[in-house]
Amino acid sequence: MYRTDVFTPSRFTSEGTMTLRGQQIKYNTVCEDNPFYDENGKIIASIFSYSYFRSDVEDKTKRPVIFGYNGGPGSSSMWVHVGFLGAKRIKYNEDIDTATTLPPYEVIDNPNCLLDIADVVLVDPVGTGFGALLDADSGKKFYGIEEDAEALLMFIGRWLSRYDRWDSPKYLIGESYGCTRSAVAAGMAGGAGAERSYNFTFDGVVLIGNTVTVGKYFGREVPVEPSVLELPTCAAINWYHNHPSDQTVEEFVAEAKAFADTEYLLALYKGDELCGEELEAFEKKLSYYSGFSIEALKKYNYRLTERNAREEITKDKGVTVSRYDGRITIPVDPAHTTLMREERLDEATTAKYGPYFHSALTGPVFRALGIKDFDRTFVNSAGMSMNWNRETKQMNTGDYLRHAMHRVEGFRTFFANGWYDLCTQIGIVYYTATHAGLPKDRTFIKGYKSGHMAYIGEDNIEELCNDIHAFIEGKDPTK
C-alpha cells in the first residue's frame, strides 16, 4: 500500500527508431500515471499506461490507436507488452520444448510491432504492474467485471482528450480476462449497463484467449455439455504429442469438432442407453480424437475436463501438459500432487516464460522507456480474482459484445485463439460466436499453433501481428 500523502503521479518519456515492414519508424513514448480521485479531490487509485506514438505523423485524426492489456483479473500488461505489442520484445526459442533458461535473456527490436499502422497504449489496471490502489476501501470501485470496464473507459476518455485523439479509430486488444474487459467496455461505451452514459465508440476488438461467454464468466456456464466444447482442444494437444494422424492440426481438429458436434453430443445425451457395439465404436472414436485411453474415458464417464486432459493425454510419457499451452510439459511430481489441493498441477508455461518476460520488461524495456529511479514495485500479477465482483447487472459478457456490434454498424470482432489453449478453449469461442447473436459478416475466428498466448513463437507472432495489421486495415484477418 502506498502512502497517499506522498503519492505523486509519475511520467517518463523516451524516443526511439526501428524498422517495420521495410520502413524506418521514429517513435516517442510516454509512460505515466492516470489518477482517479474521490469526491474530495484525493487520489485513490491510478492506472499506469505505456504509450507509443509514431513521431512522423502530421495528421493523427485518421491514425488508429490500440489499447492493449492482459487479464487475470489482476494481471499487468507485461505479457502483451513484451510478448508482441511493444517496440521491444523477447526473442522466442525456436524449439517450444527447450527447457526454461536462466538469465541473461535476449530482448530485440520487435519487427512485428504495429507502430507503422497505429499508436499503441499498454495498460496496467488499478493494482497491477505500476497501477496503484491508494485507498483500500476504494477497491470495490475498481475490482469487478463492470467496475473494471468502467475504469478503463474513464481512462481511455481522459487519454483521448489529453492527446487530442477523439477522431482516431480506436481498437481494444485484450488477452484472457482482457477479452471480458473489452467486451463489457465496448458495450458500456455504447450505453449498455452503465449508470453513466459514455457515448463513444470503438472500431473493433481483438480477443486473444477468449473469455467472453453467453453464460456466467467465472462459472464458464454454457447450456451444453462442456465436454463437447473441450474436445477440439484435447484433439489439438493429442495431435501435437501423440501424432494420431498425418493430417494438419487444423484438419484433425476440424474432424474432431465435427464428431463432437454430432456423435459425441448424442452419446452423452443417450447415457447408459448407449451399449454393445455402438458403445465400443464410440469409445474408439473418442479415444482416437481425445488422446485418452478407453480405460480413462470409462473412469471419467466419457467426460473431458481441463484437469483430466492435462493428466491423461501424455500420461504414458510421465508428464503433464500446461493449461496455458498444451505443447509445453513438465514431469509429474507426485509430492506436489499430494501436498497441494487435488486440482493443482505444476504450471509449465508460467515456469518457462514468467521469469523471462518479467526480466525483459523490468530490465531492458523499462530502461529504453526511460523508467528509472522509480520507487514503486512492479507487480506482474495480483491475487484479485478471489474477491472480484463477478456479477453483471443486466446482461452477460456476450450480451455486452452483441450490443456494441449492433449499435455500431462498422464494429468488428476478431477472435484469435491458440489451438493448444486449455485455459480458454477454442471450442468455447465457436459456441460464443454462434450463440451470442454476433453479426457473422463482422465476426472473425482464427486458430493459431500456440496456446493461451497466441503470439508465443517466432512464426506465431509474425502470423498474429500480420493478421491484426490486416484487421485494422479493414480486411478479413483470416485470409
- Shared domain for 52 and 118, answered yes or no, is yes
Residue 36: Cβ within 10 Å count: 22
H-state helical runs in 243-383:
249-259, 265-270, 276-290, 294-299, 306-312, 334-339, 348-360, 366-368
Q: What are residue 44's phi and psi, to 5 degrees?
A: -110, -20
Does residue 140 sit in the same domain as residue 230?
no
Q: Indicate the SS3 state at residue 455.
A: coil
Question: Mapping DSSP to helix (H, G, I), strand (E, B) and coil, where does residue 42 land?
Answer: coil
Domain match, 295 and 369 both: no
pLDDT of residue 218: 59
Closest CA to 397 of 139, 217, 268: 217
Q: Note the pLDDT of residue 219.
A: 57
Given this model, what pLDDT does residue 221 score? 62
Give the chain's domain count. Answer: 2
CB crowding 445-454: b at 16 or more within 10 Å, else e: bbbbbbbbbb
111, 24: one domain:
yes
Mean per-residue pLDDT pooled into runs of 10, the chain (479 residues): 69 96 95 95 95 95 96 95 97 74 84 97 97 92 94 97 97 97 94 75 96 74 83 98 97 98 96 94 98 97 94 93 92 60 64 90 96 90 84 88 94 98 95 94 97 95 98 97
Could you tell me if 43 and 169 lie in one domain?
yes
Point out the domain boundary residue: 309, 329, 346: 346
Whether 266 is in a domain gets the answer: yes
Last residue of a domain, one of 331, 346, 361: 346
Is 169 found in the same domain as 237? no
Residue 246 carries which side chain, given as an amino acid letter?
A: D
Question: 205 lies in a domain?
Answer: yes
- Distance, CA of 356 to CA of 101 (rounded, Å): 8
Closest Cα partner for 464 from 195, 175, 190, 259? Answer: 175
Dihedral pair phi/psi, residue 282, rounded to 5°: -65, -45
Of 311, 346, 381, the residue that ends a domain is 346
Q: Is 4 within the bounds of a domain? A: no
Based on the fold, state whether residues 264 and 317 are members of the same structural domain.
Answer: yes
Q: How far apart are CA 133 and CA 76, in angstroms?
A: 13
**What are 77's three cell numbers?**
500488461
Question: Does 234 share its domain with 371?
Answer: no
Count other C-beta atoms under 10 Å from residue 204's C-beta: 26
> Does residue 142 lie within any of the structural domains?
yes
Amino acid letter for position 301: N
Other beta carbons less than 10 A from residue 170's beta carbon:
22
Indicate if 381 and 242 belong to the same structural domain.
no
Structural domain includes residue 1:
no
Co-location of 172 and 317 in the same domain: no
Asked if 339 and 383 sit in the same domain, the reply is no
We report the CATH number of the domain holding residue 40 as: 3.40.50.1820
Strands 119-124 and 11-20: unpaired
Domain that holds residue 324: 226-346
Give yes or no for a contact between 436 and 398, defined as CB atoms under 8 angstroms apart: yes
Q: What are the φ and ψ backbone dihedral angles of 168, each rounded to 5 degrees? A: -75, 145
Dihedral sign for Cα atoms in the order 214, 220, 224, 228? positive
Residue 201 C-alpha cell reads as 465508440
> Residue 233 falls within a domain, yes or no?
yes
Contact 153/188 with Cβ under 8 angstroms?
yes
Distance CA 33, CA 8 (A): 9
Residue 446 to residue 467: CA distance in whole angstroms: 9
Nearest one of 188, 257, 449 to 464, comparing CA atoms: 449
DSSP 203-224: SEEEEES----SS-TTTT--SS
Give the separation between CA 295 and CA 82, rounded to whole angstroms: 43
Residues 298 and 272 in one domain: yes
- Asked if residue 137 belongs to a domain, the reply is yes
- 78 in a structural domain: yes
Single pTM value for the model:
0.94
CB of 453 within 8 A of CB of 209?
A: yes
Distance between CA atoms of residues 370 and 386, nearest Å: 35
Quote the cell numbers at residue 268: 452423452
Query: Which residue, chain included where needed, has cell 453483471?
Result: 392
